[in-house]
Structure 1
Amino acid sequence: MAKVVITGGSGMLGHWVVKHFVEQGYEVLNVDSRRPEQPLCPTIQADLENLGETYGVLAGADAVVHLAAIPAAHIRTPEVTFRNNVMSTYNILEAAAGLGIRKAVIASSESSYGIVFAVHPFGPQYVPVDEAHPQLPQDSYGLSKVVNEQTAEMFNRRTGMQVVSLRLGNVIPPEWYERFPSFIHKPEERERILWSYIDTRDAAEVCRLAVEADGLGAVAINVAADDSSMAIRSRELLQARYPDVTDIRSSLDGHETLLSNEKAKRLLGWQPKYQWREQVEQQNKS
């Protein structure tokens, strides 16, 4: 049975990732600065900015899924956000390399494209935004994710370790779907994230598929649902909030995602299963 260390497993997404790996038969160790509300596996509390502690928690692992981070801008001061996110990721990959671990998955973000927390707002150069789109952050959080992706590339060059950087869209746990009716008809809501979202259960599956895949090298992959989080058609959303975007690279006949997930499907054989309309309908019935 393969052993996977999941950092940040006490967090909102981490809980679902731990749950998924446990259900799939993996030996799982959660590493976090706090205990989980629902313990699903052993937990070690550790400071991942300390390389020695990082070596300690990764010893004996076959793979690591690194989710631990300050999860957005404006939670901590900019320099604390940058230091925490960059050093913890460096230490995870440094320790993994030293211990001979060959598979790592790290949490990057759609924020790396720069639109989400931009001080001077701007729109995408084209849609759907794929992984080739320029990353133009104006904030330390987005910058930390760009640096982490480059750190992943460095370790792959140095050691051959496979490192998959998941550019996660807006992560939605099941209980949050009740919020959707309040904003689905308002184009100005969620425009900074291009109206994207991803269910925690679909994101958890991507993490596992990224661990199980072979031969990917160092690669960045968007993770988003197939549809937008809005009741308004995607082309109309663009016209309302980003009218200057004229480079549209897909048909956009309906509510398609504007954060492309095609690469995840192609490289990982992944297919998102959860869509907000079905989830809201189920909640209304129950």
Structure 2
Amino acid sequence: MKKVVVTGGSGLLGSAVIQEFLDHDYEVINADIKYPKETLCKTVITDLTNLGEVYGVLSGADAVVHLAAIPVAYSHPNEVTFENNVMSTYNILEAAANLGIKKAVISSSESSYGICFSKQNLAPQYVPIDEEHPQLPEESYGLSKIVNEKTADMIHARTGMQVVSMRLGNVISPEMYKNFPDFIHNPELRKTILWSYIDTRDAASAYRLAIETDGLGSVALNIGADETSMDIESKKLIAECFPEVKDFRGELSGFAPLLNSEKAKQLLNWKPIHKWRNYVKQL
């Protein structure tokens, strides 16, 4: 049985990721600063900004999945968000590499493209956004994700450890589908995330597959659903909210996603299966 440490396992995405690994016969340890609402595995209370504690919790692990972070911009002073997110990720990757752990997955974000928290109404340069789109954040949360991806590149270059950086769309747990009727007809409410979403269960399967797939090196992957979170067709969403965007890289038929996850599908042999329409009575 392989042992995986999941950091931030007490958070929104954590329980789904832990359950995914348990369902595939992994031994799982949750490293977090708080206990989860539901106990699925052993939790070790760990300050990830303390390198010694990180070495301790990762000892004996075969892989690490790093979810823990301050998860949004502006919830804390900018320097607090940056320091927490950058140093915890650095410590995880540094300790894992030096302990001989061969595979890690870290959590990046669509926020790194800069549109999510822009105060200047930044528009995408083209749609759907793929991993080659410029990353232009105006705040320390998005910047921390870019630094973390560069840290992953550095650790891989130095040690050969495989590190996959997941640029997650808006993470939605199953109980959150009840909120969808409040926004599926209002483009303005979710335009800064390009109406993206990813079900926690689909994200969890991507994390597991990133651990189980070989030869990925250090790579960043968009992780989003196969549709937008809206009941308005994608071309109409762009025309209404981002009329200046004229570069369409794909047909964008129907409710096609504006966060392109094709690279993850190809490299991980992954496919998101949960769609909001299966859980929401359309109004």
TM-score over 0.5 for the alignment? yes
- Any residues of structure 2 matched to 1:160-239 within 5 Å, and which? 160-239=160-239
Match of 2:60 in 1: 60
Cα deviation 1:203-232 (Å, max 9, x = unaligned): 000000000010000000000000000000
Cα deviation for residue 119 of structure 1 reads: 2.1
Question: What is the count of residue pairs matched by the alignment?
Answer: 283
Cα deviation 1:86-107 (Å, max 9, x = unaligned): 0000000000011000000000
Gaps of 5+ in 2: none
Match of 1:40 in 2: 40
CA distance in 1, matches of 2:183, 2:13: 22
Runs (4+) of structure 1 moved beyond 3 Å?
A: none
What secondary structure sits across from 1:10 in the alignment?
coil
Return the letter of the residue paired with 1:20.
E
Cα deviation for residue 130 of structure 1 reads: 0.1
Match of 1:73 in 2: 73
What secondary structure sits across from 1:222 in the alignment?
strand
- Any residues of structure 2 matched to 1:70-109 within 5 Å, and which? 70-109=70-109
Q: TM-score scaled by structure 1? A: 0.98
Return the letter of the residue paired with 1:72.
V
CA distance in 2, matches of 1:153, 1:32: 25
Match of 1:135 in 2: 135
Return the letter of the residue paired with 1:267.
L
Return the letter of the residue paired with 2:7.
T
Q: TM-score scaled by structure 2? A: 0.99
Cα deviation 1:16-37 (Å, max 9, x = unaligned): 1011111111000000000011
Match of 2:267 in 1: 267
Cα deviation for residue 121 of structure 1 reads: 1.5
Match of 2:118 in 1: 118
Return the letter of the residue paired with 1:52.
G
CA distance in 2, matches of 1:230, 1:267: 27
Cα deviation for residue 280 of structure 1 reads: 1.1
CA distance in 1, matches of 2:187, 2:65: 34
Cα deviation for residue 244 of structure 1 reads: 0.6
CA distance in 1, matches of 2:253, 2:91: 45
Cα deviation for residue 108 of structure 1 reads: 0.2
CA distance in 2, matches of 1:253, 1:42: 45
CA distance in 1, matches of 2:256, 2:243: 17
What secondary structure sits across from 1:94 in the alignment?
helix
What secondary structure sits across from 2:254 in the alignment?
coil
Match of 1:49 in 2: 49
RMSD of Structure 2 on Structure 1 (CA): 1.0
Return the letter of the residue paired with 2:48.
L
Return the letter of the residue paired with 1:224.
G
Of all paired residues, the percent bearing the same amino acid is: 63
Return the letter of the residue paired with 1:186.
N
What secondary structure sits across from 2:41 in the alignment?
coil
Return the letter of the residue paired with 1:274.
H
CA distance in 1, matches of 2:218, 2:230: 33
Return the letter of the residue paired with 1:87.
M
CA distance in 1, matches of 2:274, 2:191: 21
Return the letter of the residue paired with 1:250.
G
Cα deviation 1:26-64 (Å, max 9, x = unaligned): 000000000011010000001010000000000000000
CA distance in 2, matches of 1:70, 1:188: 25
CA distance in 2, matches of 1:119, 1:149: 24
CA distance in 2, matches of 1:64, 1:255: 35
Cα deviation for residue 175 of structure 1 reads: 0.5
Return the letter of the residue paired with 1:194.
L
CA distance in 2, matches of 1:27, 1:170: 28
CA distance in 1, matches of 2:238, 2:110: 18
Gaps of 5+ in 1: none
- The reply to whether residue 156 of structure 1 matches residue 174 of structure 2 is no
